[in-house]
Structure 1
């Protein structure tokens, strides 16, 4: 069912917090979930597949949901999809995910685990977080036994009505049996966690709604349990555009994939109309302070953006990294310096003679194509080591290397250091 807020608002601390901060989107039974959460500490999980060695900003909303779940006196479970990552979630994708081998999945698990250690408190206390891997129970299943025991509880007719599946079929895009089984695997995860951990709530993004509802229905059929599903809206700007790209590509949460400075700068560049919403979703600032900041206008709103960048970078990378990123930005944009900490990209080969500027801009992620790079250069928006570069035929030479790098800039906010190798 689509979320129907209660007239008086949620009574439980968790749902009230999520409601006030803009996380609530869909819930299977909001009133019953609220009553359960008011009866004592509950247990909830959110699943994350191991498709890369870091999570990205699109995962921040479900991570913050788990964080608030713990901060309001409950026990969160971070489920890592060591098994389901081998299938690939087809939700709202045009094509199948590339299949990963076990070595890649193990490597990705190590990288992703570091993210959760910054946001959740793990340990042996009643509300300490737990991290589990679904390969522990899915990896050893006998396929025939699984089909016999679990298959009868799923209707193919019902599965075909799932929005993510329906869209693929309507576009006449291939949906393999491997991917079709993903919904069953996720539902089985919920069942196992309900049996072993008393976990009655699954959290997720709105793209997971169909899978979550299947798990709730499966839990009722196989165990007679009342399970709950709750989703948050996907991360978009006010205009509805998906978020998640920086100058260098995806906005990763691990520092070895995206520097804390680039991460900080991504949030500093938030649109004016998104500042208040993002402060509610991605920081723990009091709502009264957020209300004060979001009504700032003109140049004053920039201070609110800096606070947003400071707060989320502190959560994701720690206080020291947030302070350094903020100071790096100040020195670039206010003092006109070029401090260490700017994103650095290695050129694919050494500067043997000369390297076309248009190619360098594409390599640096400052332009998506050579034609875009040429337009930026001719338009006067490109600088090399602080000097304007208006010649689209310009080549970078050894003499452009200063202290081992070449600084490329587009406009006032986008800077990348090229490091010849």
Structure 2
């Protein structure tokens, strides 16, 4: 039976592929149709930026605001001190309070590209759970909150069970994480009237815990909604590229490299990604996703432009496309390519091509760079590179050189005056 939503938000979630599970879809739909609903997603501050793997959740918050509701971006200044064990094989490294604070500052910049923080009824809120977690009294917390949790039930959650089944250690510190996340929902409801928690489907157990705790302690009905855990059509985890994480912060990954990640989308993923990561009408996403042959490449450029414009602005998207066309179609040297600038001192005695490939980010190590050359995947100014022992001096670098790894990844090397 097909469900026909009353609220625009639930309709968007279902039509565009954001919906995996919901605790009570009909009741949630009713309250969303009835007025402004505050809803949150939590983000732990484990790095100075979020990466593409978090973008599906960020887009859910964006759609929430666009359809007339109030997004809450909850920063895990408190929970990051513990670390989420969900579906991890090992314990997260612990960060210092200073590192966490610096990470939160970086993540704030990313969010402001997607949601509007202001004092209006639907203005987004950014809240740090350290606000209530840092000052907790342990004994009071155990007595008032801990008594509502069954250890038997906690052990049955897939995120915990998978660790235990593999006989991998799960520290008591990590085991507390789900209690703290449940407590977040209770406090957000108590302080800000939050009625809905959203997240990836790996957070289902944590979300259900929060709903149950809020009902027991405050006698209030709240809801949970999860999105599918996204993998690409070839089974890879979303958010990773050959050269590492695809960061949303322009200082950690240039707009050109971000654009290029989306341009390199597999044909089978284009239609689905257009629905999830752009605001193009669903019919247009389906039309573009159904294109074949060389036409699908124009759909990929449309995808790259739309996603890059949302994060970095329309000008950055246009510049990235112009650079790509210059590099791929004309064989030229685009101004926006990632650039390695060398000093005169660094090249005084010559510098190896292997070092240049590694330092420009086209390979993670010298060994990988040598393998790239041996396999015929490296080029220097569009000519195949065959000599891993090649040395370049200042004269060779008097004008910029272009290095390439495969057909789609490029970098410039320049020499400072």
**TM range, smaller chain:** over 0.9
CA distance in 2, matches of 1:334, 1:256: 27
1:201 alignment partner in structure 2: 196
TM-superposition CA deviations, 1:277-330 (whole Å, max 9, x none)? 000000000112112211111000001000000000000111111111111111
Bigger CA drift: 351-360 or 326-335?
351-360
2:369 alignment partner in structure 1: 373
- Residues 401 and 412 in structure 2, CA contact (< 8 A), matched pair in contact too: yes
Asked whether 1:192 is paired with 2:215, we answer no
Asked whether 1:91 is paired with 2:86, we answer yes
1:50 alignment partner in structure 2: 45
Instruction: Report how far residue 145 of structure 1 moved.
Output: 1.0
1:395 alignment partner in structure 2: 391
Number of matched pairs: 415
Which of 323, 341, 344 in structure 2 is aligned with 1:328?
323
Change (3 A) 1:47 1:394: same
1:1-400 mapped onto 2 (5 Å cutoff) = 7-345=2-340, 350-400=346-396
CA distance in 1, matches of 2:46, 2:342: 27
Change (3 A) 1:313 1:402: farther
TM-superposition CA deviations, 1:367-414 (whole Å, max 9, x none)? 3454443333133321123332111222333333244x5421122211
Corresponding residue SS for 1:159: helix
CA distance in 1, matches of 2:415, 2:96: 33
CA distance in 2, matches of 1:221, 1:323: 53
- Residues 45 and 76 in structure 1, CA contact (< 8 A), matched pair in contact too: yes
TM-superposition CA deviations, 1:167-187 (whole Å, max 9, x none)? 111111121111111101111
CA distance in 1, matches of 2:180, 2:356: 45
Corresponding residue SS for 2:145: helix
CA RMSD of aligned residues (A): 1.9
Change (3 A) 1:169 1:346: farther
Bigger CA drift: 120-129 or 389-398?
389-398
TM-superposition CA deviations, 1:67-121 (whole Å, max 9, x none)? 1011111111000111111111111111111111111111111110011111001
1:3 alignment partner in structure 2: none
Unpaired runs of at least 5, structure 2: none
Corresponding residue SS for 1:400: coil
CA distance in 1, matches of 2:70, 2:241: 33
CA distance in 2, matches of 1:103, 1:175: 26
Bigger CA drift: 271-280 or 246-255?
246-255
Instruction: Report how far residue 41 of structure 1 moved.
Output: 1.5
Unpaired runs of at least 5, structure 1: 1-5
Corresponding residue SS for 1:298: coil
Corresponding residue SS for 2:198: strand
CA distance in 1, matches of 2:38, 2:197: 9
Corresponding residue SS for 1:230: strand
- Residues 247 and 414 in structure 1, CA contact (< 8 A), matched pair in contact too: no
TM-superposition CA deviations, 1:4-44 (whole Å, max 9, x none)? xx633322111110100000001111122112212222110
Change (3 A) 1:243 1:420: farther
Corresponding residue SS for 1:185: helix
After TM superposition, the score normalised by the length of structure 1 is 0.94
CA distance in 2, matches of 1:194, 1:380: 58
Instruction: Report how far residue 220 of structure 1 moved.
Output: 1.5
Instruction: Report how far residue 247 of structure 1 moved.
Output: 5.0
CA distance in 1, matches of 2:153, 2:198: 21
Instruction: Report how far residue 248 of structure 1 moved.
Output: 3.8
After TM superposition, the score normalised by the length of structure 2 is 0.95
Change (3 A) 1:184 1:139: same
- Residues 243 and 364 in structure 2, CA contact (< 8 A), matched pair in contact too: no
